[in-house]
Amino acid sequence: MRSLFVKLFLWFWLTVALSGGVFFLVAIKTRPELPPFPQEHRLSGGQLMPPPMGDPTVPETQHPPPLHFEGGRHKPPPRGFFSFPLVAQLAIYFVVGGAVCYLLAWRLTAPIRRLRRAAQQLAQGDLTARAGFGAETKGDEIADLGRDFDRMAEQLEGLMAAQKQLVRDISHELRSPLARLNVALGLARREAPASAAPAFDRIEQESDRLNQMIGELLTLTLLESGGKALEKEQVDLAALTAEVVHDADFEAAGSGRAVQLTTASVPLLSGNYELLRRAVENVVRNAVRYTASDTVVEVYLEQTAADEVCLRVRDHGPGVPEEALVAIFKPFFRVAEARDRQSGGTGIGLAITAGTIKHHGGTVTARNLPEGGLEVLIRLPLPAV
């Protein structure tokens, strides 16, 4: 009985039923008794008839109402509502009271249900969700709460829009000075002595990393905004995954690691090839980065249902804290700051993966395995046949 509607309904109904029962019991105990019928007179042939109206033995005030004859006998007239059995009376009262209480409880909890639906939509990322309590809406404290919620949602939507616009503008503006920096770096290399080469290599490495981060930021803002529809085509996910695994295995061999793919034939799906490739690559490269030396990153691709394909990437690393299994797909989240910086992580890759999979109607989750290591599970829907 966690529902407020059910609680209100049952308490109202119980109150009405108890008060109705007490009312009927009091009414039955206190209703006046009808006067007794006078002695019947027999006619010839054994028929019965009431005494004459002028019978001096019967007081004038106690003359009974006319009798109804059926089959030679008589019965008293109906006594109105109380002529029904007590059980029937209580049943009618119980049903009618229950219907009224149901409507009352439904009416009282309707604003709360609207507010709850809007809160759920807002929690799922729909910043346009509103409870719909305008200034013209009349009501009580619940209506005031709904209007406060709508104002809060409007402020959140404005703040998030401003933040995304700021990131987008900064990313675009950084591209120009970064390009000029690379040009200046090339000129400086030609005029500098050979002893300066390591410093220039370091500058070039950091410049490339900054350029990569800017590109990831632009991709992330594009996925989060949802304002521009991405081009889609028929994508062979098996071939795409095999290409990513081949490249990752080649790079992992230098650090004593390997990447292995186990795949089955899966149907083509509709999606953006470049984004899907980057999403899969981010997960695989992340697994290679954190798996232990001399271990194999295992990638499995299979069709788990008629309308769904599943990609699993499992490493043999330390995993992540349980409370961070959801947060690792948020932008700039780092489980270990120093380790991520040492490995070259930017904290954006898995966020791009989550945004891409969500844009394609799928889901991405992570879990720590009992035998050790982290497993990332990507589910993508297949087009209807």
pLDDT over 90 at 217, yes or no: no
Q: How many CB atoms lie within 10 A of CB 349?
A: 22
User: How much is the pLDDT for 200?
Assistant: 87
| Rounded average pLDDT over 63-74 | 50
Mean pLDDT taken over the chain:
78
Which of the residue ranges 67-76, 107-116, 183-192 would you say has the lowest mean pLDDT? 67-76
Angle at 287 between CA 350 and CA 282, to 5 degrees: 35
Mean pLDDT of 6-16: 74
For 380, which DSSP code? E
DSSP characters over 264-325: -----EEE-HHHHHHHHHHHHHHHHHHSPTT-EEEEEEEEEETTEEEEEEE--S----GGGT
The top-level CATH class assigned to 156-225 is mainly alpha
pLDDT value at residue 1: 44
Distance spanning both ends of the chain, measured CA to CA: 43
Cβ-contact 286, 349 below 8 angstroms: yes
Confidence at residue 26, expressed as pLDDT on a 0 to 100 scale: 65
Asked if the model's pLDDT at residue 132 lies above 50, the reply is yes
Domain 233-381 class in CATH: alpha beta
pLDDT at 228 over 70: no
Question: What average pLDDT score do residues 332-354 get?
Answer: 68
More confident residue, 127 or 82: 127
Residue of 179 and 224 predicted with greater confidence: 179
Query: Per the structure block, which two tokens stand in for 170?
Result: 């900064």
- Do the bridges between strand 296-305 and strand 258-263 make them parallel or antiparallel, or are there none, so unpaired? parallel
Q: How confident is the model at residue 116 (pLDDT cuts 50, 70, 90)?
A: confident
Q: Is residue 380 exposed (0-12), middle (13-18) or buried (19+ Cβ within 10 Å)?
A: buried
Strand partners, 302: 310
Confidence of residue 311 (pLDDT cuts 50, 70, 90): very high
Annotated active-site residue 359? The verdict is no
The length of the chain, given as a count of residues: 385
Asked whether the CA dihedral 27, 32, 36, 37 is positive or negative, the reply is: negative
Sign (positive or negative) of CA dihedral 147, 149, 152, 156: negative
Max Cα-Cα span within the chain: 149
Q: Which of 3-7, 18-22, 152-156, 164-168 has the highest mean pLDDT?
A: 152-156
3-state DSSP assignment of residue 369: coil
What's the rounded mean pLDDT across residues 305-328? 92
Cite the beta strand spans of the chain per DSSP E: 41-42, 48-49, 68-70, 73-75, 233-235, 258-263, 269-271, 296-305, 308-314, 363-368, 374-381
- Residues 229-241: what's their mean pLDDT? 86
For the chain, the domains span 4-123, 156-225, 233-381
Over residues 236-262, the pLDDT tens digits come to 999 999 999 999 999 999 889 999 999
Selected residue with higher pLDDT from 379 and 331: 379
* pLDDT band per the 50, 70, 90 thresholds, residue 34: low
Over 80: is that where the pLDDT of 324 sits?
Answer: yes
Which amino acid is residue 62, in one-letter code?
Q
Q: What percent of the chain has pLDDT over 90?
A: 24
Of 41, 68, 172, 246, catalytic: 172
d(CA 143, CA 107): 13
Q: How far apart are the C-alpha atoms of 9 and 99, rounded to whole Å? A: 9
